[in-house]
């Protein structure tokens, strides 16, 4: 039996993003945003949208793949896929699912995408006014545990408690993201610098550890990447970003209701990360490009630790702005601004930034740009992560 | 003074059309705290599910338990995300672990000063909080430090 791996079999050949808007500010409908991002990604790849034959998304994206296929005049739809789970847990998984379809010959050109115009629908950080709640919510909402920040904060509280990690480590993460957004013209937080004083003075969303600047924004926009077979990608318009590995899933019973997952203080990457590196045949020290989904900075902290990028006992010392920025930092993080400061595009903007870094066309370009790790949707379940590489990593 | 920790108007619990959690909510109305216990392998299970995650028996019973636990984690939300909480100010939610029952965990509010220091590992006792005038009436389980 051939080696069961995704390693090097597919590549991202095109990337597309709409303008990123503040929440509710998109002049376009959510579905139109999805179309715009996909058309742009096709232009970038030098292909016609007619030649897409598959769609992969996540987070219960409302832009239906088959409708997109009809709207774009796709000749034949061969792959139509939704990754279970909320938020951005599926961001890397959608790229991995697209790659799996392409690597196995189910499809030849699959787009992984996300589209959000939250002004047209319910917001994430506002709970609905529904009078009666059932299922797991019945054990949480009546106690005021409703929003994502409130549902995840106790995981972070316990993790920080267990490892003696201080608020300043989370501040370092936020400062780096905002720093990188300042040069990015498409960043929603461009022109809104963040410093230590402003962070410290910001109001609590959830105490302890969630200041305003520890929490993602909500935004409107869309992003898309085109996945094709590796041997085709090398002859296409842009330098390929090869998919070296993807992992998705959760720890044992990570979806156990009412906070009963056995490994509670976790971003849920502990079991996944070793599989990811094994598939890529790479290690944390190979990753010059590090992109981690910020729903909350505490999730970033746990993700970096569970992916072996930082040791828990070194987190207080290491996670300071100077180490995390592109100008001389030892581990530049979220180099386009990420969910916090570029756009909360549920992490797909992190995948796109990784491709730009590998191509060498990023605004905040890192020097060591052969391998990228992207960590998607910490603390939700399932989560997913991805390693991309240049030709040199094959 | 209200006998409820949080203001009126928050979502109210329902056991839902499938009735999976009905024995729990019937129990709290009667002042009993009860969780699932597998009649096959005797494992404790929480939240409620249709099958035992350990032995896959569908024969799950409900057993009344003592409301003794310890604080496993906590949070103090400040930002109101529901209109009922506008202007209310911070409050405390705790995640309570029950060592005598397989370390299952429950979420509730920690009674008392919302600005108090919350000791992780601190011993807590369940307190029933009836909402008799709700339609239908229900009873929440809250926690106080002992
Ligand atoms: Zn059993």
Are A66 and A77 in contact by the 8 Å Cβ rule? The answer is yes
Is the pLDDT at A76 greater than 50? The verdict is yes
Q: Write down the mean pLDDT value for chain A.
A: 95
| pTM confidence score | 0.96
* Helices vs. strands in chain B: H and E counts, helices first: 1, 9
User: A193-251 pLDDT, tens per residue?
Assistant: 999 999 999 999 999 999 999 999 889 999 999 999 999 999 999 999 999 999 999 99
Q: Which of A138, A146, A153 sits opposite B21 (nearest CB)?
A: A138
In this structure, of A17-31, A92-106, A271-285, B110-124, the range with the lowest mean pLDDT score is A17-31
**Chain B contact set for A129 (CB, 8 A):** 82-83
Mean pLDDT computed over A130-142: 91
Flag if A203 and B104 touch (Cβ within 8 Å): no
Task: Please report, for chain B, the start and end positions of each structural domain, with discontinuous segments joined by +.
Answer: 17-65, 67-146
Instruction: Please list all protein residues whose beta carbon sits less than 5 angstroms from ligand 1, which is an ion.
Output: B 38, 40-41, 43, 52, 54-55, 57
Distance in Å, CA B62 to ligand 1 centroid: 13
A129 touches chain B (CB under 8 A): yes
Determine the pLDDT at residue A127: 60
Percent of chain A whose predicted confidence (pLDDT) is above 90 = 92
Q: Is A126 on the interface with B (CB under 8 A)?
A: yes
Q: Do A147 and B81 touch (CB under 8 A)?
A: yes
CB-based burial, A146-173: b 16+ in 10 Å, e otherwise: bbbbbbbbbbbbbbbbebebebbbbbbb
Is the distance from CB of A165 to CB of A312 less than 8 angstroms? yes
Residue A124 has pLDDT above 70, yes or no: no
- Give the gap in angstroms from C-alpha B59 to the nearest C-alpha of chain A: 19
Confidence at A122, pLDDT banded by 50, 70, 90: low
Determine the distance in angstroms separating the CA of A211 from the nearest CA of chain B, rounded to an integer.
10
Strands B68-77 and B123-131: antiparallel
At residue A56, the pLDDT reads: 98
Domains of chain A as residue ranges with CATH? 10-121+216-393 (3.40.47.10)
Position B1 scores a pLDDT of 47
pLDDT at residue B74, rounded to an integer: 98
pLDDT tens digits for B6-60?
999 999 999 988 999 999 999 999 999 999 999 999 999 999 999 999 999 999 9
Q: Which residue has the higher pLDDT, B3 or A226?
A: A226
The mean pLDDT of B95-119, rounded to a whole number, is: 98
The 10s digit of each residue's pLDDT in A36-65 is 999 999 999 999 999 999 999 999 999 999
Catalytic residue annotation of A: 293, 344
Query: In this complex, do A147 and B72 lie within 8 Å of one another by their Cβ atoms?
Result: no
Q: Which of B79, B93, B76, B109 is nearest to A209 (CA)?
A: B76
Mean pLDDT, rounded, for A81-101: 96
Task: Tell whether B3 lies on the interface with A, counting CB pairs under 8 A.
Answer: no
Is A145 in Cβ contact with B107 (below 8 Å)? yes
Chain segment A289-331, per-residue pLDDT in tens = 999 999 999 999 999 999 999 999 999 999 999 999 999 999 9
The mean per-residue pLDDT over the stretch A3-19 comes to: 96
Instruction: Tokens for A60, please give them.
Output: 């219960």
Domain spanning B67-146: which CATH class is it, in words? Answer: mainly beta
The pLDDT assigned to A217 comes to 83
| Closest C-alpha among B66, B67, B70 to residue B119 | B70
Query: Rounded to the nearest whole angstrom, what is the distance from the C-alpha of residue B64 to the centroid of ligand 1?
Result: 17
Nearest chain B CA: its distance from A145 CA (Å): 7
**pLDDT, mean of residues A267-289:** 97
Q: What local confidence, expressed as pLDDT, does residue B3 receive?
A: 86
Is the CB of A164 inside 8 Å of chain B's CB atoms? Answer: no
Q: Does A138 touch chain B (CB under 8 A)?
A: yes
Average pLDDT over residues B56-80: 97
């Amino acid at each position: 039996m051939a080696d069961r791996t995704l390693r090097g079999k597919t590549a991202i050949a095109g990337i597309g993003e709409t303008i990123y808007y503040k929440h509710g500010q998109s002049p376009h409908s959510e579905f139109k945003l999805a179309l715009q991002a996909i058309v742009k990604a096709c232009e970038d790849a030098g292909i016609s949208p007619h030649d897409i034959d598959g769609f992969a998304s996540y987070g219960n994206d409302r832009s239906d793949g088959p409708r997109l296929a009809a709207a774009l005049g796709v000749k034949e739809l061969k792959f139509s896929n939704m990754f279970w789970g909320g938020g951005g847990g599926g961001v890397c998984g959608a790229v991995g699912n697209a790659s799996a379809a392409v690597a196995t010959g189910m499809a030849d050109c699959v787009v992984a995408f996300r589209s959000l115009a939250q002004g047209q629908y319910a917001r994430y950080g506002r709970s609905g006014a529904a009078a009666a709640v059932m299922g797991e919510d019945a054990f949480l909402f009546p106690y005021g545990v409703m929003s994502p920040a409130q549902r995840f904060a106790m995981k972070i509280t316990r993790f920080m408690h267990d490892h003696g990690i201080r608020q300043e480590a989370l501040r370092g993460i936020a400062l780096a993201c905002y720093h990188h957004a300042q040069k990015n013209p498409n960043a929603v937080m461009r022109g809104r610098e963040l410093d230590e004083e402003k962070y410290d003075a910001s109001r609590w969303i959830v105490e302890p550890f969630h200041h305003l600047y520890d929490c993602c924004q909500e935004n409107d926009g869309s992003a898309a990447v085109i996945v094709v077979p590796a041997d085709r990608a090398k002859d296409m318009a842009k330098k390929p970003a090869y998919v070296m590995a993807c992992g998705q899933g959760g720890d044992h019973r990570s979806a156990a209701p009412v906070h009963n997952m056995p490994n509670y203080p976790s971003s849920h990457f502990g079991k996944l990360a070793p599989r990811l590196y094994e598939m890529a045949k790479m290690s944390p020290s190979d990753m010059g490009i590090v992109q981690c989904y910020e729903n909350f900075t505490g999730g970033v902290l746990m993700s970096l630790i569970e992916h072996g990028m930082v040791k828990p006992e070194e987190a207080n010392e290491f996670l300071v702005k100077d180490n995390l920025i592109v100008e001389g930092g030892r581990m530049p993080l979220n180099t386009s601004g990420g969910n916090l400061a570029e756009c909360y595009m549920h992490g797909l903007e992190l995948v796109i930034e990784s491709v730009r870094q590998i191509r060498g066309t990023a605004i905040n370009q890192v020097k060591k740009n052969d391998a990228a790790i992207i960590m998607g949707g910490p603390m939700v379940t399932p989560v997913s992560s991805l390693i991309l590489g240049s030709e040199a990593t094959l | 003074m209200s006998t409820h920790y949080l203001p009126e108007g928050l979502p109210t619990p329902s056991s839902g059309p499938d009735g999976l959690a009905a024995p729990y909510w019937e129990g709290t109305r009667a002042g009993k705290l009860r969780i699932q216990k597998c009649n096959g392998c005797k494992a404790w299970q929480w939240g409620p599910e249709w099958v035992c995650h350990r032995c896959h028996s569908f024969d799950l019973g409900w057993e009344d338990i003592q409301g003794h636990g310890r604080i496993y984690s906590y949070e103090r939300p400040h930002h109101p995300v529901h209109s009922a909480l506008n202007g209310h100010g911070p409050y405390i939610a705790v995640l309570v672990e029950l060592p005598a029952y397989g370390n299952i965990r429950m979420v509730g509010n920690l009674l008392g000063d919302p600005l108090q220091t919350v000791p992780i590992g601190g011993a807590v006792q369940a307190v029933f909080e009836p909402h008799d005038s709700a339609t239908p009436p229900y009873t929440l389980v809250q926690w106080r430090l002992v």
